Homo-oligomer: A and B are copies of this chain.
Amino acid sequence: MHSFRELSKIFEEKFSGRHFPLKPETLYDPAEYFLKFGGKRIRPVMCLMGNELVDEIVPDCYFVATAIELFHNFTLIHDDIMDKAPLRRGVETVHTKFGEPAALLSGDVMLVLAYEYLNKISEDRLKKVLQLFNKTAKEVCEGQQLDMNFEKKQKVSFDEYMHMIELKTSVLLAASLQLGALLGGAGAGNQQHIYEFGKNLGIAFQLQDDYLDAFGDPEKFGKLVGGDIVANKKTFLSIHTSEVASAQQLNELSIAGTNDKVEKTLKLYKECNVDQWAKELKEKYLQAALMHLDKIAVLSSRKKPLLELAEYLIHRQA
């Protein structure tokens, strides 16, 4: 049994080599460039943890974990093109550095490579793994599309927003855990519970993300507080506020200038008790996640790393 941190190290070592052929460089260098960005590798490690929940890690699990991380990076490269984002984590995005055509095609070939890794696993698990992987991949695309739709919409309801977050963020975390459990030999019931654990945790995770952006401790947060507000990004906090604030309050906010927008938005959030609301909602989803974890029929000692991960993801300050 390993902690998240230990598995991260193990995965990073296996993942850090080159994944693509050397030529044509104009196709594969942009792909390798992006993979070198790093990142927390949360999804592949969750796949390994899903496996270890039920048994020792099987070699196939590293192939699937790699495929998941490649898929995730493919979505990031393409999302950055769609969002016209110049930077990611302070570094030039692929299309900024190599141009849009090369970024688009590098993303495509990265998705194909993900399927190449999936196809390395033993034949008797392949169909089930592909089934869940494909379903999830489609959902993530749907989530990204909804997110883009919402940017153009004046009014998005809480339910619509929640549905988008489920698709764009939660299902991949959930599927990563389930794929690991499936490879470890978990039965259908346990697989369903680990999936639901991941899905609920994903929502709580996103709630914490949105919360920190507005109410994080500037010294611990690492990024500028209020970034989402400046970027006019819809978040759980902004969606909820638009549903509970009065017309007058919303009107006052809409005429705020660039200078005082963050300040005025945070003030309105406080007036509407959005901080408290977000904390409670996050706790609700965390409890739902833990309830599913509880129901998984394995020794509780096997659940410890996942419990620790949940606590960390939900109460992190950065």
Specify which chain B residues have a CB less than 8 angstroms from the CB of A123 in the assembled complex.
123-124, 126-127
In the assembled complex, how far is the CB of residue A33 from the closest CB belonging to chain B, in whole angstroms?
A: 15
Q: Across the two chains, which residue of chain B brings its CB closest to A121?
A: B127
A108 to chain B: closest CB distance in Å? 6
Closest to A27 in B: B145
CA distance A107 to B105 in the complex (A): 11
The reply to whether A27 and B142 form a contact with Cβ atoms under 8 Å apart is: yes
Taken together as a complex, chains A and B put the C-alpha atoms of A112 and B130 apart, in Å, by 10
- A138 touching B126, Cβ below 8 Å: no
Question: A149 near B: Cβ within 8 Å?
Answer: yes
Known: A113-B138, A130-B115. A148 touches B101 (CB 8 A): yes
**Which of under 10, 10 to 19, 20 to 34, or 35 or more describes the interface residues of A?**
35 or more
In the complex the two chains form, is A108's CB within 8 Å of B105's CB? no
Main secondary structure of the interface of A (DSSP, over half): helix
Return the CB mask of A119-148 against B: 1 if under 8 Å, else 0: 100011011001100100110011011101
Q: Is the CB of A130 within 8 A of B141?
A: no
Q: Are A145 and B104 neighbours in the complex by a CB distance under 8 Å? A: no
**Residue with the highest number of chain B CB atoms closer than 10 Å, among A105, A108, A116, A130:** A108
Given contacts A24-B146, A145-B27, A149-B24, whether A108 and B111 have CB atoms under 8 Å apart is yes
CB distance from A163 to the nearest CB of B (A): 10
Q: Are A82 and B104 in contact (CB under 8 A)?
A: yes
Residues of B within 8 A of A141 (CB): 27, 105, 108-109, 112
**Given A26-B149, A105-B141, A109-B138, A127–B131 Cβ distance below 8 Å?**
no
A78 interface residue (CB < 8 Å to B): yes
Once the chains bind, are B113 and A111 in contact (CB under 8 Å)?
no
Cα–Cα distance between A113 and B133 once the two chains are bound (Å): 11
Chain B residues with CB below 8 A from A48, complex form? none
Q: How far is the CA of A141 from the CA of B105 in the complex (A)?
A: 7
Provide the residues of chain B in CB contact with A131, threshold 8 Å.
119
The answer on a CB contact under 8 Å between B130 and A101 is: no
Residue of B nearest to A24 (CB): B145
By a CB distance below 8 angstroms, the chain B residues around A109 are 137-138, 141-142
Cβ distance A103 to chain B, nearest Cβ, rounded Å: 10
Q: Is the CB of A104 within 8 A of B81?
A: yes
Provide the residues of chain B in CB contact with A272, threshold 8 Å.
none
Identify 27 residue pairs between A and B in the complex whose beta-carbon atoms are under 8 Å apart, listed by A's number. A24-B146, A26-B148, A27-B141, A27-B142, A27-B145, A82-B101, A82-B104, A82-B105, A102-B145, A104-B104, A105-B141, A105-B144, A105-B145, A107-B108, A108-B108, A108-B141, A109-B137, A109-B141, A111-B112, A112-B137, A115-B130, A116-B134, A119-B127, A123-B123, A123-B124, A123-B126, A126-B126
Top 4 A-B pairs, shortest CB-CB distance: A27-B145, A82-B101, A109-B141, A119-B130
